[in-house]
Structure 1
Amino acid sequence: MSTTMEQTILTDEQIRFYRENGFVQVDGVLNAEELEELREYLGEAMQADQDNSFSTDKEGGAYYRVLNQKVNTWRDHGGMAKYVLHPRFAGLAKQLTGASAIRLFHDHALYKMPGDSKPTPWHQDMPYWPMNEKGSLSIWITLDDVDERNGCMMFVPGSQKAGKLKGIDFINPQDIKEYVEDPEIAAKQPVIVRMKAGSCTFHDGLTFHYAHSNQTDAPRRVLAIIYMPDGTTYSGKGHPVTNGEALTADQPIRGRLFPVLAK
């Protein structure tokens, strides 16, 4: 893999691995200077008063113990917009999916808080996204070294082939084996993805994934960005990011909040 400030070129093996397994690890997507800058911006965005971005729970809430999360930080913080809208990351999504162009759906800052932390349960993302077609994906950029002690991710390889199933209750989660009907997929050994700060994973919106609890004394900090292939159509289902936007069911998701980032 070769890297510049503007472009990262994936190997054929990385692309093949993603398409077969539904996830891939990409090391070193941020250099040391970018890592420090993004840590500063993310901390500011998490502490700032909300205007166009929003938190999904307040401190002390049940969901907060799973994830202290703020969505669409790019709309309130110019520094976050620099990274969320960066064509380098969207270009990786384009390479992995083979899409003609990639649009932003939204970003979210993800803190796994220290102390009274809970794991992020096994789930797919697609059931929560108001999209008709498959193919959307997330980049998960870690700003800290991650392992099982502080909230690294696990993936079930090939689980995107199970198709879109039902959403998970993050507070009282079900066992993955209760609703994955394909016994071969349900029996697969999850892959633990430990990473150094500044590295990332991409995962398909249908890939089952999990994050460990944070047992350390510092937050685990992540910037996640959700991308969709251009032409992805709106299901009509309500979502905090699309509410109030002029979208029509079964028509492409586009407009001021969903720009093309790579083509």
Structure 2
Amino acid sequence: MSEELLPELLEAYQLPDGTLEHLRSQSWAPLPGLLSADAVQAMLEQVQRYAAPVQPSESEKWMTSEEYARVVQSYDGMAWTDNWFRELALSPRLAGVALDLLDEPEGLFIHDMTFTKPGNDGGPTPFHQDYPFWPFDRKGAFTIWIALTDLTADMGILKFMPGSHNEGPLGRFSRAPGDDIRKAYPYLEDKYGFAGGTDLKAGDATVHYDLTVHGADGNKTTQGRAAYTLRYMPTDVIYTGAPHRHFDGFEMTPGELFSDSPQVPRISRLS
């Protein structure tokens, strides 16, 4: 691994007792102290090199909007162009956590992304599921969301509807302000309520499934809310061919296993 990465990334992270059970029953779980303040400071410096948000392709207009870009500024796929981020995602610490959460000896690293919610005008993130945005034929992917600075609840930290992954796919929503999954399914809030959304220290993280209904309040502070996400999934997921700017470049054929693509890094207890 690169000498620029901190030694702690070679060390295993011990999941707190009950984390996997919490994820499976509650749709999300906290990962306190996943990384040190020194590690996230190094990550923040690297992330800041990617300031310009990614613009959606014409085929992806249903996925995002100019209004949403003002709510959350993002950049994705750094690990496919930058070895620093690739080694971070495949490090024993982060890949090991992913394997623990998969509860499997092998898995796949599929995506990384920055999320910055501006201060003052960083509005709420509508509630949604991640699954409809991905070209995956089955559930099982999850997102590890890492705070890159100390974050307070009034900065718009992710909230989750605990147990909501059991609903299955609920459909596509553009993520434009006001296009919230709760409008289509008004029973969700009463049925599941909310969890998360509380203060996080730099290096604290959360994990949620691709079917977890989640969103965030607006950033009511003057400081930007910075986070970095890593996405992993099982090895049996098949590519559907649905458009996505990240996966379109993999030159995969619909019906192909992601695990067969040379563009998709495999993580393993044996590596």
TM range (shorter): 0.7 to 0.9
CA distance in 2, matches of 1:72, 1:156: 27
Equivalent residues in 2 for 1:104-123, closer than 5 Å: 104-123=109-128
Identity among equivalent pairs (%): 27
Match of 2:194 in 1: 190
Equivalent residues in 2 for 1:34-53, closer than 5 Å: 34-46=39-51
Partner secondary structure for residue 237 of structure 2? coil
User: Is 2:120–2:222's contact at 8 Å kept on the other side of the alignment?
Assistant: yes
Q: 1:77 to 1:185 in 2, by over 3 A?
A: same
* Range 146-155 or range 122-131, more displaced: 146-155
Superimposed CA distance per residue, residues 77-134 of structure 1 (whole angstroms, 9 cap, x where no aligned partner):
3333332332322222221222331211110011111222111110000000100111
Match of 2:266 in 1: 260
| Structure whose residues are more often helix by fraction | 2
Equivalent residues in 2 for 1:112-151, closer than 5 Å: 112-151=117-156
Match of 1:64 in 2: 69
User: Is 1:93–1:227's contact at 8 Å kept on the other side of the alignment?
Assistant: yes
CA distance in 2, matches of 1:236, 1:186: 35
The structural deviation recorded for 1:154 is 0.4
Match of 1:50 in 2: none
Q: Which one of the candidate residues 28, 31, 37 is aligned to 1:32?
A: 37
Q: Structure 1: which 4+ aligned runs deviate by more than 6 Å?
A: none
Could you tell me which amino acid in structure 2 is paired with residue 91 of structure 1?
G
1:161 to 2:166 alignment: yes
Partner secondary structure for residue 175 of structure 2? coil
Could you tell me which amino acid in structure 2 is paired with residue 226 of structure 1?
R
Q: What is the TM-score when the length of structure 1 is the normalising length?
A: 0.87
CA distance in 1, matches of 2:268, 2:178: 36
User: Is 1:87–1:261's contact at 8 Å kept on the other side of the alignment?
Assistant: no
1:98 to 2:103 alignment: yes
User: Is 2:145–2:207's contact at 8 Å kept on the other side of the alignment?
Assistant: yes
Note the aligned Cα RMSD (angstroms): 2.3
Match of 2:87 in 1: 82
- Consecutive unaligned residues of structure 1, counting only runs of 5 or more, are 48-53
Q: 1:180 to 1:88 in 2, by over 3 A?
A: farther
